[in-house]
Amino acid sequence: MDENSLLIPVAMKIIMNSGNARTKANEALEALSIFDFSNAHKKIVEAREDIKKAHQEQTEIIQKEAAGEHYKTCLLFTHAQDTLMTIMSEVNLTEKMIILFESFYQIQGHKEN
């Protein structure tokens, strides 16, 4: 079996789970924009779950390669890793923004929605 036929389905799972995480992070930002901190926290937890799934897929390939399996370079897998890394950063920043905005909101004397 060609190495790419093994990497392509994994790459697609990484891309799909990462994309789902981005969608949920954007939903968290939308909730944040109307001061719905409860929903923002819920959506960022869901985003983290999707990132975890994507990261697990990537880790399995890396562990197999470290154990001696060799793969040809696969552009789609490289793209998947780049997508995962980028969206992990987006989720991290969104989470920090939620914490920051919630703190400012409370300092201003507002109660959480």
Q: What is the pTM of this model?
A: 0.89
Binding-site residues: 82
pLDDT in tens, the chain (113 residues): 566 788 999 999 999 999 999 999 999 999 999 999 999 999 999 999 999 999 999 999 999 999 999 899 899 999 999 999 999 999 999 999 999 999 999 898 876 55
Catalytic residue annotation? 79
Question: Domain span at residue 89?
Answer: 3-112
Binding-site residues for Mg(2+): 82
Q: Three-state SS for 112?
A: coil
Domain of residue 97, CATH code: 1.20.58.80
Total domains in the chain come to 1
10 near 79, Cβ under 8 Å? Answer: no
- Cα–Cα distance measured from residue 111 to residue 67, given in angstroms and rounded to the nearest whole number: 53
